[in-house]
Amino acid sequence: MTSSIHLRARGLRQTYDLGETQLRVLQGVDLDVAKGEVVFLRGASGAGKSTLLYILAGLEHPREGTLEFEGEQLFAQKGNRQAILRNRRMGFVFQSYFLLPELTALENVILPAMLGGLPNKGSEAKARELLDRVGLSGRLDHLPSQLSGGEQQRVAIARALVNDPGILFADEPTGNLDATTGAGIIELLLGLARQDGRTFVAVTHDPALSALGDRQLYLKDGHLEQV
Ligand X SMILES: Nc1ncnc2c1ncn2[C@@H]1O[C@H](COP(=O)(O)OP(=O)(O)OP(=O)(O)O)[C@@H](O)[C@H]1O
Kindly list the residues in this chain that would bind ligand X in the complex (CB under 6 A). 16, 23, 25, 43, 45-51
Which is nearer to ligand X, 22 or 137 (by Cβ)? 22
CA-wise closest residue to 32 among 7, 15, 61, 57: 7
CB of 124 to ligand X, least distance (A): 35
CB of 224 to ligand X, least distance (A): 12
User: 46 Cβ partners below 8 Å, 6+ apart?
Assistant: none
CB of 24 to ligand X, least distance (A): 9
Q: Is 163 in the site for Mg ion (CB under 5 A)?
A: no
Which DSSP category does 100 fall into?
-
Which is nearer to ligand X, 43 or 165 (by Cβ)? 43
Piece of 44-52, 125-133, 158-166, 207-215 that binds Mg ion (CB under 5 A): 44-52
Q: Is the dihedral of CA 4, 203, 86, 54 positive or negative?
A: negative
CB of 76 to ligand X, least distance (A): 23
* Three-class SS state of 225: strand
Question: H/E element holding 23?
Answer: strand 21-34
Which is nearer to ligand X, 48 or 213 (by Cβ)? 48
CB atoms within 10 A of CB 193: 23
* Three-class SS state of 48: coil
Binding residue (CB under 5 A) for Mg ion from 14, 50, 152, 174: 50
Piece of 45-53, 57-65, 148-156, 204-212 that binds Mg ion (CB under 5 A): 45-53
Which is nearer to ligand X, 55 or 109 (by Cβ)? 55
CB of 140 to ligand X, least distance (A): 32
Which is nearer to ligand X, 50 or 82 (by Cβ)? 50
Which is nearer to Mg ion, 66 or 95 (by Cβ)? 95
User: 81 Cβ partners below 8 Å, 6+ apart?
Assistant: none
The upper half-sphere exposure of residue 6, i.e. CA atoms within 13 Å in the direction of its Cβ, equals 21
| Distance in angstroms (rounded) separating the CA atoms of residues 218 and 47 | 9
CB of 146 to ligand X, least distance (A): 28
Integer-rounded Cα radius of gyration of the chain = 17
Residues that bind Mg ion (CB under 5 A): 50
